[in-house]
Structure 1
Amino acid sequence: MKQQTIMAPPPPIDEGLADVLVPTAFVTMAVLNKLGAENDLSLTLMRALGILWDRRPRMSELADYLGLEKQTMSGLIARAEKKGLVARAPNAEDGRATDVFLTDAGAELVKRLHAQTQQALTPLTEQLCASDRQQLQTLLQRMLESRKR
């Protein structure tokens, strides 16, 4: 008979780490909110455009990724279509499904937003040496990857 191994839950986050992560998130969100306002974009639309940069998902996949209801997703994409940033087309494999993708204007905006974001976030990390910035990137990537499990 096999013995079952019961895994203990992970320890709670260290208070000091939480005290750094939370304000870091707030500062980062403030930068993104400012860029969104300057470009007449909501944070959710900015996220959607970023996702569409390198893929052409079905509307339902995009809604799932963003954690939005189908109706909310349709409204968001309709507003983006009116701005000329995205377009919809029937999915090649399933004609009942709809793909969403960036237009040329949308792709240009995403490039511009990417550059603006890098410039706006630079003051947060410019006092770090190159190896510290690389280590921070590695740790944050690992932290985000753990969400996918």
Structure 2
Amino acid sequence: MTSDAVVEALVRSSWRVMGVLTRIGAENDLSLTQLRVFGILVDRRLRMTELADYLGLDKSSMSGLVDRAERRGLLARGKNPDDRRAVDVYLTPAGLALMERLLEEGRRALAPATDRLDAKQSAQLVDLLEILLGE
């Protein structure tokens, strides 16, 4: 298989996943970018600047995005424990609960595709994706 075929398969699978995420986000009044923020923050706190850099957003766009989620009680800001001048962003308990529900919705929506894989194929896919992601 050529690298072009690999890239094409990755792009097609990305479109399917983004379609599911876009639908789930819309059903919950969330943009795809907001879902990305929540997904990033599921298991960590990040400085506003780190989060903006990760998403490729400028500081004002990041602040607006966080402000909207903060008003909904899904994100909060707090002083960084290591650098009192820095501001961290993190999911609130309500944000974490929402993400757990949305992840389950995503699993159900993608199950028709992922259920075609046997246990060995599923493990291989996870391993390969982790290599591609650098994790």
Structure 1-normalised TM-score? 0.83
How far did residue 95 of structure 1 move? 2.2
How far did residue 21 of structure 1 move? 2.0
Which residue does the alignment assign to 1:53? 42
SS of residue in 1 equivalent to 2:88: strand
Which residue does the alignment assign to 2:126? 137
After TM superposition, the structure 1 = structure 2 runs for residues 99-118 of structure 1, keeping only pairs within 5 Å, are 99-118=88-107
Cα distance between partner residues in 2 of 1:129 and 1:84: 40
Cα distance between partner residues in 2 of 1:92 and 1:128: 44
Which residue does the alignment assign to 1:87? 76
Is 1:29 paired with 2:29? no
Indicate the structure with greater helix content. 2
Residue deviations 1:12-65 (CA, integer Å, cap 9, x gap): x63322332221111111011111111111111111111111111111111111
* Counterpart AA for 1:25: S
Alignment RMSD: 1.5
Which residue does the alignment assign to 2:87? 98
Is 1:122 paired with 2:124? no
* Counterpart AA for 2:25: G
How far did residue 130 of structure 1 move? 1.1
SS of residue in 1 equivalent to 2:23: helix
Q: Computing the radius of gyration over CA atoms, which structure comes out larger, 1 or 2? A: 1
How far did residue 127 of structure 1 move? 1.4
Which residue does the alignment assign to 1:41? 30
Percent of aligned pairs sharing the same letter: 50
Aligned residues: 134
Moved more, 119-128 or 77-86: 119-128
Is 1:72 paired with 2:70? no
How far did residue 134 of structure 1 move? 1.0
How far did residue 109 of structure 1 move? 0.4
* Counterpart AA for 2:71: K
- 5+ residue gaps, structure 1, are 1-12
Instruction: Kindly report structure 1 stretches of 4+ aligned residues shifted beyond 3 Å.
Output: none
